[in-house]
Amino acid sequence: ALDREQMQGLKGIREFLKVRTSYDVLPLSFRLVVLDTELLIKKSLSILIQNGIVSAPLWDSKTSTFAGLLTSTDYINVIQYYCQFPHEIDQVDQFRLSSLRDIERAIGVLPLETVSVHPMRPLYEACRRMLKTRARRIPLVDVDDETGREMVVSVITQYRILKFIAVNNEKYTMLLKKPVREIGLGTYTDLVTASMSNSVLDVIHLMVKHNISAVPIIDSEGKVLNVFEAVDVIPCIRDGLYEELTASVGDALSLRPEDFPGIYTCSEDDRLDAIFDTIRKSRVHRLIVVDDDNHLRGIISLSDILKYVLLYGEEEDDIRDT
Ligand code: ADP
């Protein structure tokens, strides 16, 4: 019966995502900060910090087109570039946002796909595309009828989508009563961790190497002390002080903004309905799974949740098609 209820809940949510559009997820009024690609990278950092945001769409004013999304990954790329070519620090300071693609090439990382979706397409499509490209946020791009020009309407994140589900589907999320342990939600083996005394640079290298956006910081007994997130890199380099990256994780985490939402934990016995309650109430970016003594057991990322909600029990062929 638990199985049937769980499936019924998932189906309900999937149907919901098919009849709603990305546009529906947007709040009634919002502010969108779009950055011109002519801007110095250095400058872009202070703009993000001043506005209390961690990403922004880029606009190429020469061609009047959308030029991708600026995220913490781009700054991490700049840091890697600096590590590989430390004698070029003066140049790094002069880089514009338009050089980000050259930086990717120079350090040999694959450029992120500049996926976008039309705001009036079903939300389900945006979710599928997010999972497929591993994008954590997707810009909504529309075309102006009169000028034929692209317009960035907004950006939707995994968190916004999950929150939208949580707020509008309580009758379905409450059916998701199977414990996290049973549905295998999240990652429990080969966890990548660091300690307070590791340097920021050590942790950045770990995130790049394993393609993850957060590293739990644990003590010698494996108890969770904190989590270093990719976005924590932004305040570390705000003054262009790349040397500071040798500072310890402990020092870096003290730079977090005052409104930092905190880290969220859960146990392997928690159920998805409880996780949706947490998402409904708080700005969660991931859940750290701990035991009763706060020892690290696993990590549940928002992509793990989105993947489960969209794909669990779907036909394999169906997944490959879309
Ligand atoms: P998201 O895509 O939601 O931003 P991540 O990039 O952090 O999340 O996670 C990608 C995948 O890697 C997920 O399946 C997650 O469970 C796993 N993961 C995240 N952090 C770690 C970590 N520190 N060690 C091992 N696996 C992790």
Tokens of 235: 């305040």
Q: Is the dihedral of CA 265, 269, 274, 275 positive or negative?
A: positive
In the chain, residues under CATH classification 3.10.580.10 are 2-166, 171-321
Q: Cα dihedral sign for 240, 242, 247, 249? A: positive
Report the pLDDT value the prediction gives residue 322, as an integer from 0 to 100: 45
Q: Which of 187, 217, 275 to mutate to test the pocket of ligand 1 (most atoms within 8 A of CB)?
A: 187
How far is CA 211 from its chain centroid? Answer: 12
State the distance from the centre of ligand 1 to the C-alpha of 142, rounded, in angstroms.
Answer: 31
Cβ of 285 less than 6 Å from ligand 1: no
> Would strands 65-70 and 56-60 be described as parallel, antiparallel, or unpaired?
antiparallel
CA–centroid distance, residue 299 to ligand 1 (Å): 7
37: Cβ contacts below 8 Å, ≥ 6 apart: 58, 59, 60, 61, 67, 96, 97, 98
Cα-based angle 189, 191, 197 (whole degrees, multiple of 5)? 155
**Distance, CA 213 to ligand 1 centroid (Å)?**
6
ipTM > 0.90 (yes/no): yes
Ligand 1 site, residue 161, Cβ cutoff 6 A: no
- The C-alpha atoms of residue 268 and residue 205 are separated, in whole angstroms, by 29
What is the predicted pLDDT for the residue at 318? Answer: 52
Q: Is 226 in the pocket of ligand 1 (CB under 6 A)?
A: no
Atom of ligand 1 nearest to the CA of 307: 14
Give 207 Cα–ligand 1 centroid separation in angstroms.
Answer: 9
Q: Specify the residue with its C-alpha closest to ligand 1, atom 2.
A: 303
Instruction: Assess contact for 142 and 154: CB atoms under 8 A.
Output: no
Q: Is 214 in the pocket of ligand 1 (CB under 6 A)?
A: yes
Specify the CATH architecture of the domain 171-321: Roll (3.10)
Counting from 1 in the atom list of ligand 1, the atom nearest the Cα of 158 is 3
Token pair, residue 57, equals 């769409």
Q: Which residues contact 311 (CB under 8 A, 6 or more apart)?
A: 131, 319
What values do phi and psi take at 157, rounded to 5?
A: -110, 165
| pLDDT score recorded for residue 185 | 96
Give me 310's structure tokens.
Answer: 């969209």
Helix (H) or strand (E) holding 158: helix 158-168
Give the separation between CA 11 and CA 130, rounded to whole angstroms: 19
60 C-alpha to ligand 1 centroid (Å): 32
Q: What is the pLDDT along the chain (322 residues), one digit of tens a residue?
A: 788 999 999 999 999 999 999 999 998 778 899 999 999 999 999 999 999 899 999 999 998 888 989 999 999 999 999 889 888 878 888 899 999 999 999 998 877 667 899 999 999 999 999 999 888 899 999 988 888 888 889 999 999 999 999 999 999 999 999 999 999 999 999 999 999 999 999 999 999 999 999 999 999 999 999 999 999 998 888 877 677 788 899 988 887 877 777 899 999 999 999 999 999 999 999 999 999 999 999 999 999 999 999 999 886 545 554 4
> Which residue in 7, 55, 51 sits closest to 229, CA to CA?
55
* CA atoms of 56 and 48, how far apart (whole Å): 8
Ligand 1 proximity of 284 Cβ (cutoff 6 Å):
no
Q: Please name the residue that has the structure tokens 């970016």.
A: 285
What distance in angstroms lies between residue 281's CA and the mean position of ligand 1's atoms? 22
Q: Which residues are within 8 A (CB) of 1 and not within 5 positions of it... i.e. 6 or more apart? A: none
- Fold for 2-166, please state it: CBS-domain (3.10.580)
Separation CA 76–CA 70 (nearest Å): 11
Which of 157, 209, 212, 300 maximizes ligand 1 atoms within 8 Å of its Cβ, making it the mutation to test the pocket? 212
Q: Of 301, 302, 311, which is best to mutate to test ligand 1, by the most ligand atoms within 8 angstroms of its C-beta?
A: 301
